[in-house]
Amino acid sequence: MTTRRQFIGALPATGAAFAFGGALVAEPGAAQAQTGPALQPGHFHPKGKVPSDYTQAVYEAATKDLPFDDTRDFDEFNKGFIARRSDPVIPSDTGGVAWDDSQWAFLDGDGPFDAIHPSLLRIAKLNRNFGLYEVVPGTVYQVRGFDLAQTTFVRGKSGWIVFDVLVSAETMRAAWELFQEHRGEGLPVSAVVYSHNHGDHWGGIRGILTDEDATSGRVPVIAPVGFMENAISENVFAGNAMNRRLFYQYGILLPTSPYGYVTQGLGPRVSAGSTGLIAPTRLVTGAIEEFEVDGIPMVFQNTPNTEAPSEMNTWIPGYKTLWMAENINATLHNIYTLRGAPVRDPLRWSKYINEALYRFSDEAEVMIASHHWPRWGKERIKDVLRGQRDIYANMNNQVLHFANQGVTINQIHNVYEVPPGLQQMWYARGYHGSPQHNARGVIQRFLGFWDCNPATLIPLSPADSAPLYVEMMGGAAAIMARARTLHDEGSYLLATEILNKLVQAEPGNQDAKDMLADAFEQIGYQQENPGLRNSFLSGAFELRSGIPIGDTADTSSPDVIRSMTTEQWLNFLGIKLDSRKAGKAAFKINLVTPDNGESFVIELAHGTLTNIQGHTAPDAQLSLTVNRSDLSNVMSGADTFEAMVGAGKVTVEGDLSVLGQLAGMMGSFDPLFEIMPGTKARAEADEGASLEAVVGKAVAE
């Protein structure tokens, strides 16, 4: 049995799609069981609390310290507005809701916003730009607020060149329709440019393009070198863990509410429609390449291993428009991504911004990017480029400066500070990357996880060390009493230290979990950064209600599976293999795919599954010959080798039972594994999660 789950896509409808391990309704007597501040009537959770006086004090300090009188972002956000989409709902093709702008209507009113950091509230309002905007009269337009990212239409000789195509076909189609209604003049899509390999910039391609448009050459699809490989590989190997961690960073199960999910720093959130991928037909391979796209001269600047492994900026001299992909944002971006990804290189990122500054900015009159709003005028463009250049360079250099003085990964977030001048620049605020988690990421990149204290080198697992702590602290009652005092005096991180030990030692202690949730909630409320807020609030949610169970919308993405190389798939099978089940078994399988001319030897030895391309083994126990086009169905779980053998699609030589042995050695990846102790309420392990669910939607901001 295969159950498809697509958590990233489950967004606005999440509340309806999930059942909860613990009841999400008011429980008799719940109020008496609470600690700390009073229950909040408008809160979505019966155990939810109001922000404490300490949390309010954090907001008051931020209101005083931050440059709220600098309203240029709002001016730029409003400039060129043409029209909203009349219907806030964009239906999904499978009968659900891909997008519902009305869920953020609460942000338009006067509050209460007493549980939202004022700076976070600011970016949430700036992400409320649901409509069509003019960037350059007659030639450059954007639809914003239809997805996490936005889409840009640039006038070509015969039609519109589309820069980035959102996450879902449904939202992209709606964006195109809104554009056509007001400014598109009925002209077709004449080219597509993918700025980089993250899914929020290519997943919606099927909303405006067919395979035939691309393969016939009628509509060139342009992308930076390495695009396809990176579009898939960033999300395969640790995909199940990444998808689970999205619950935290992206707050996927949190209701949209002043007390829950508010926004993502880069945009309102990820849409919940269907994702597809059409391969590029032209790759930009040089460091700088100039060529015409639909008759318009363009200069492409490859910026590999910056915000994404495969990314490029574009200078359009005829329109004096500089497209900075996702290298420039109205926020500090992630160096380390909380959901999990290799740590990025901020120095290289900074240098590519600097190159764009020196190469293009003297002529640029407007700068646009994959997220947020345009910047008009040379001085403004140069200021933003310089500031964004410096925030990444500073983070790299100063964190390493401290590291060279002995500051460790466990201290750096309490030591590193963004330079005061940049703290006053809104575009350097931590709406996506936070200075805290990014600083730890820089150390991770250069020095790794270890702080060089032997006590932390091979530590006991939390559940193994916690019982001794609890015993030495005098047991649960003493810890609860002390934690309540710490909580009530606003020392939430200290309360978390001891409550976490208690919860690790006593996963069934719901009073302890509730008190830890209360501390998490206040810490979450205090965050300017949505990823940090969502992580603490999601932790609180799971501690109170358990892990959600149930299926989400089926928004499968066979395009992504088809786009995996056979080697990537075989590598992934090596990860799915459970060495303990393999034991001492050993065999070789030849896999030949004639339609693409590939061959592999897959070898099991020492409980390890390896593969090598370009070889076949004469002593293999089994040789399989199958077209790669058919193999894709096995990869996606739509078919099995056994069924395809029966159907004559696979040529078999040797012992087919080897395949059954191998299948029996595979482990299963539970897409809802437990994170906080004692929160797993699921009745049965999920044995059937398909590879597709594991690969997910490949959004990796």
Binding site for Zn ion (CB under 5 A): 149, 198, 200, 326
Q: Whole-angstrom Cα distance, residue 30 to residue 251? A: 24
Core vs surface per residue 569-606: b (16+ CB within 10 A) or e: bbbbbebebeeeebeeeebbbbbbbeeeebbbbbbbee
The distance of closest approach from Cβ of residue 307 to Zn ion in the complex, given in angstroms and rounded to an integer, is 8
Q: Show contacts of 644-651: CB within 8 Å, 24+ apart.
A: 650/624, 650/625, 650/626, 651/624, 651/625, 651/626
Asked if residue 387 lies in contact with residue 91, where contact means CB atoms within 8 angstroms, the answer is no
Q: In terms of CB distance, is 202 or 492 closer to Zn ion?
A: 202
Q: Nearest 10 degrees: CA dihedral of 267, 270, 272, 276?
A: 110
Q: Whole-angstrom Cα distance, residue 336 to residue 675? A: 20
Q: Nearest 10 degrees: CA dihedral of 127, 132, 133, 137?
A: 170
The distance of closest approach from Cβ of residue 554 to Zn ion in the complex, given in angstroms and rounded to an integer, is 24
Q: Whole-angstrom Cα distance, residue 270 to residue 8? A: 7
Q: In terms of CB distance, is 200 or 514 closer to Zn ion?
A: 200
The distance of closest approach from Cβ of residue 573 to Zn ion in the complex, given in angstroms and rounded to an integer, is 30
Residue nearest to Zn ion (CB): 200
Q: In terms of CB distance, is 164 or 213 closer to Zn ion?
A: 164
The distance of closest approach from Cβ of residue 150 to Zn ion in the complex, given in angstroms and rounded to an integer, is 9
Q: What is the DSSP letter of 279?
A: -
Asked if residue 170 lies in contact with residue 93, where contact means CB atoms within 8 angstroms, the answer is yes
Strand partners, 300: 289, 314
Q: Mention every residue, 6+ apart, whose C-beta is less than 8 A from residue 497.
A: none
Q: In terms of CB distance, is 352 or 572 closer to Zn ion?
A: 352
Q: Whole-angstrom Cα distance, residue 56 to residue 34? A: 20
Q: In terms of CB distance, is 307 or 542 closer to Zn ion?
A: 307
The distance of closest approach from Cβ of residue 98 to Zn ion in the complex, given in angstroms and rounded to an integer, is 17
The distance of closest approach from Cβ of residue 700 to Zn ion in the complex, given in angstroms and rounded to an integer, is 9
The distance of closest approach from Cβ of residue 257 to Zn ion in the complex, given in angstroms and rounded to an integer, is 24
Q: In terms of CB distance, is 170 or 200 closer to Zn ion?
A: 200
The distance of closest approach from Cβ of residue 268 to Zn ion in the complex, given in angstroms and rounded to an integer, is 13
Q: Nearest 10 degrees: CA dihedral of 550, 553, 554, 559?
A: -130
CB burial of residue 414 (10 Å; 0-12, 13-18, 19+) = exposed
Q: Whole-angstrom Cα distance, residue 530 to residue 549? A: 24
Q: Which amino acid is at 312?
A: M
The distance of closest approach from Cβ of residue 306 to Zn ion in the complex, given in angstroms and rounded to an integer, is 12
The distance of closest approach from Cβ of residue 40 to Zn ion in the complex, given in angstroms and rounded to an integer, is 33
Q: In terms of CB distance, is 269 or 544 closer to Zn ion?
A: 269
Q: In terms of CB distance, is 149 or 341 closer to Zn ion?
A: 149
Q: In terms of CB distance, is 173 or 198 closer to Zn ion?
A: 198
Q: In terms of CB distance, is 37 or 226 closer to Zn ion?
A: 226
